[in-house]
Amino acid sequence: MFIYVYFLELVSIIGASLAVNNTERDLVLKELLRNYNSAVPPNYNHDDQLRVEIQVYILSIDSISDSSKDFALSFFLRHRWNDSRLIHDPKLGTFQLSQKSMNKVWVPELFILNEKRTALHRVSTPDKLLHIKPDGLMYYSTRISGTFSCDVNLLRYPLDHQMCPLTIESYGYTSETLDLQWYKEPVEEKDDIILSQFSLGCEKTIKCDKVYAGLKFSCVQMNIKLDRLYDYYLIQTYIPTTLIVILSWVSFWISIDATPARISLGLLTVLTMTTQNTGLPKVSYFKAIDVWMVSCMFFVFAALIEFAYVNVLSRVQLRRQTSVVDNGDHDNTPSTRKSFPSKNDYRTGCRFNICFQNMANREKARNVDRISRFMFPLLFVLFNLFYWIIYLFVLKTKADIQPC
């Protein structure tokens, strides 16, 4: 019984001390804010430069658009600076201000230069916090989601890497008054960020002060490197088009007399190739995948042209000799009958010449098919060799050269 009574007295004493401490903290905070001018930054009256440190915590990268050249990003924007006007007793600890009290304290006026659309989260209250340390250190954080421009370069698409910036700049104060700097750890990110078409690479932070109308404004920039995952394009574009090109080579093994079969196969492969170009980003310059598609179309179309050449080569002499024979049959003048052999002998001789020359031309046509069976695959392998070496290792864009 005695222990129970002692415990109740101890709890009441602790509660009373906490109540007194909270009351004292409220009074001190009200006193600090009573004469506080939130329209003037710290050290403004002393002409001292205020250092504001920035940190970005990436929550998610929702989408990246090649056509509109932008990306959707959700993040915490964190600020840290010193305000000597709000120094208080260390015994009172850190002041955590409510939403109403935040409006009474000066915060940096910043904007995002490459912003297209942004929104502050307000469910159920605005997602902002402001803490005041005893030494006057201010810690301000807000949650932002928006769409930001990204100057994508699709020269190596879909084997490309993109560098998308987030540029934060002072709007109302020049660099003489406010200086933006990055934290020692400027960028943090969630561990489970997964993108559908990209892998999240490194983040590089730089200083990017800008001059407008002769006035210098402080600026910091974060560059997010995004590596495109091209497995989808291998499955949906590169492998199917390769198979279509190989399918067009089957006509080289089909008899030169099977004209309907070879024409059908050639037209089928050409028409199939024309349907593979849909859904790709439209830009005014050649992308890597455009070079691939045009080259595959060239190989398929060349296989169809090869059959046309073989067909003409195998039949041209036959048509010429047939024309000569028909002209001889219709020439029935007496002088002609005296100068030439009989009609039956003439036809027999012409048929022999026709067969001999036609066999020679057919053999030439078959030789063209035999050469094509090796030349087309060899040229396609050489094209692949140059294509993958150039676009994977030789050709570099700004995002590839810029180190992290």
Tokens of 87: 């120094």
Q: What confidence category does residue 381 fall into, taking pLDDT thresholds of 50, 70 and 90?
A: very high
Residue 337 pLDDT more than 50?
A: no
Q: What confidence category does residue 314 fall into, taking pLDDT thresholds of 50, 70 and 90?
A: confident
Q: Tell me the one-letter amino acid at 179.
A: D
In angstroms, the Cα distances linking 244 to 163, 202, 396 are: 35, 38, 30
pLDDT on residue 344: 46
In angstroms, the Cα distances linking 398 to 47, 154, 203, 210, 403 are: 40, 11, 15, 21, 10
Tokens of 376: 């087309």
Q: Among candidates 148, 149, 132, 151, which has minimal Cα distance to 140? A: 132
- The mean predicted confidence, pLDDT, of the chain is 85
In angstroms, the Cα distances linking 141 to 60, 108, 131, 262, 344 are: 17, 11, 9, 69, 106
Q: How many CB atoms lie within 10 A of CB 308?
A: 12
Report the pLDDT averaged over residues 217-229: 95
| DSSP letter (8 states) at residue 109 | -
Residues in the chain: 404
Q: How far is 259 from 254, CA to CA, in rounded Å?
A: 9
Q: What confidence category does residue 192 fall into, taking pLDDT thresholds of 50, 70 and 90?
A: confident
Write out pLDDT tens, residues 108-158.
999 999 999 988 887 778 899 999 999 999 999 999 999 999 999 999 999
pLDDT on residue 282: 87
Instruction: Choose the weakest-confidence range: 179-188, 327-336, 380-389.
Output: 327-336
- Phi/psi for 106 (5° steps) reads -75, 135
Q: How many CB atoms lie within 10 A of CB 66?
A: 20
Q: How far is 18 from 344, CA to CA, in rounded Å?
A: 130
For residues 43 and 84, is the Cβ–Cβ distance under 8 A?
yes
Q: Among candidates 249, 203, 246, 248, which has minimal Cα distance to 227? A: 203
Residue with tokens 């992290």: 404
pLDDT on residue 156: 95
Q: What predicted TM-score, i.e. pTM, was given to this entire model?
A: 0.79
CA atoms within a 13 Å half-sphere pointing along the CA-CB vector of 260: 0
Which H or E run contains 8?
helix 2-34
pLDDT on residue 326: 54
For the chain, the distance separating the N- and C-terminal CA atoms, rounded to the nearest angstrom, is 68
